[in-house]
Amino acid sequence: MAMTSLLTHPHWPAPIQVRRSARARRMSLKVDPANHGATLTLPERVPNHVAMAFIADHLGWLQARIAALPTPIPFAPGTEIPLLGLPHRLQSAPGARRGVWIEDGIIQVSGPAEFFARRTEDFLKAEAKRRILSCAEPMAARLGAAFKTVRIGDPKSRWGSCNSRGTMAFSWRLVLAPERVLTYVVTHELSHLKEMNHSPRFWAWVRSLNPDYETSRRWLKANGGSLYRYGLSSVAPQTLGE
């Protein structure tokens, strides 16, 4: 079981949570954008003075990453968010009984104010699954392959995954990206049903489904991090290891 403690220092840009873990094989420092703090993970037997020296050695890195964190954009009335890359404004409709719906570029969210953020995120997750399934089903038929299940979550290190049992998983945040980018990630994971690797044959399958996939791949690398600004979660964590 991991043991944690919280350290602060007047010269540090943020509090640092220290986590000791029997599974850790090296020290790593991770910025936690949700609270503009950081986590230092240590192997169990690393002494405190070594941990403090590690922080001191990488203080510049930590200061720069904390300073560069984008401001989170909460799901709140009046906030503008992208839906398939197009701007949509969130609006409260407390007297309505329609759940969440889109009307003239506005995402209307019914119900009490305290449920606004959760209902917005639930809507986006459902919309992501609907869009992904509508894209995946005809493409799987073109491949002559079949997937079993599509799961939607909020992973921090990948946009999608596919295993040999035909289970595919995707980040709901793909529904915030331009439609062609969502399509690229779906074709990427579907292609793993043919090749469970990233060999030239794998990329040939991707290209057969999505000839212009490289444009979307570049967009995701350049802009994907910005999608983590939205909603209950914040931006993706950044880790420095040694």
Geometric angle at alpha carbon 171, from 18 and 218, rounded to 5°: 100
Residue 238: per-residue pLDDT: 40
Residue 232: per-residue pLDDT: 56
pLDDT digits (tens, 9 = 90+) for 136-145: 999 999 999 9
CATH superfamily of 121-229: Metalloproteases ("zincins"), catalytic domain (3.30.2010.10)
pLDDT digits (tens, 9 = 90+) for 65-110: 888 777 789 999 999 999 999 999 999 999 888 899 999 999 999 9
Measured from the Cβ of residue 87, the count of other Cβ atoms closer than 10 Å reads 9
Residue 141: per-residue pLDDT: 95
Rg (alpha carbons) of the chain, rounded to whole number = 21
Residue 157: per-residue pLDDT: 74
Task: Give every residue of the chain whose pLDDT is below 50, as ranges.
Answer: 1, 233-242
Residue 161: per-residue pLDDT: 95
Residue 145: per-residue pLDDT: 92
Sequence ranges of the domains in the chain: 3-69, 121-229
Single pTM value for the model = 0.76
